[in-house]
């Protein structure tokens, strides 16, 4: 395994970070909005499934509906 000194490592890290393309403010806001929408949709879906399963269990065990 090749040995590298700390200065060479820092130079390589700096070169790699210059290659990174950071998202624009607009792209970040759109992605954040999409995440919030998907979280809300997933929460509503699992809430609905939970309600259906809960009603089924209550019906099976005769605990009333």
Q: Rounded to an integer, what distance in angstroms lies between the CA atom of residue 43 and that of residue 37?
A: 10
Q: Give the model confidence (pLDDT) of 3-62 as tens digits.
A: 678 889 999 999 999 999 989 999 999 999 999 999 999 999 999 999 999 999 988 888
Q: How far is the CA of 33 from the CAs of 2, 13, 17, 46, 49, in angstroms? A: 45, 32, 27, 20, 24
Inform me whether the pLDDT recorded for 65 exceeds 90: no
Q: What is the pLDDT of residue 6?
A: 87
DSSP 19: T
CB contact set of 64 (below 8 Å; sequence gap of 6+): 58
Q: What is the pTM of this model?
A: 0.64
Q: What is the pLDDT of residue 64?
A: 58
Q: What is the pLDDT of residue 62?
A: 84
């Amino acid at each position: 395994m090749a040995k590298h000194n700390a200065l060479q490592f820092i130079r390589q890290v700096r070169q790699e970070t210059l290659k990174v393309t950071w998202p624009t403010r607009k792209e970040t806001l759109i992605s954040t909005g999409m995440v919030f929408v998907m979280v809300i949709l997933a929460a509503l879906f699992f809430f609905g499934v939970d309600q259906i399963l809960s009603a089924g269990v209550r019906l099976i065990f005769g605990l009333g509906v």
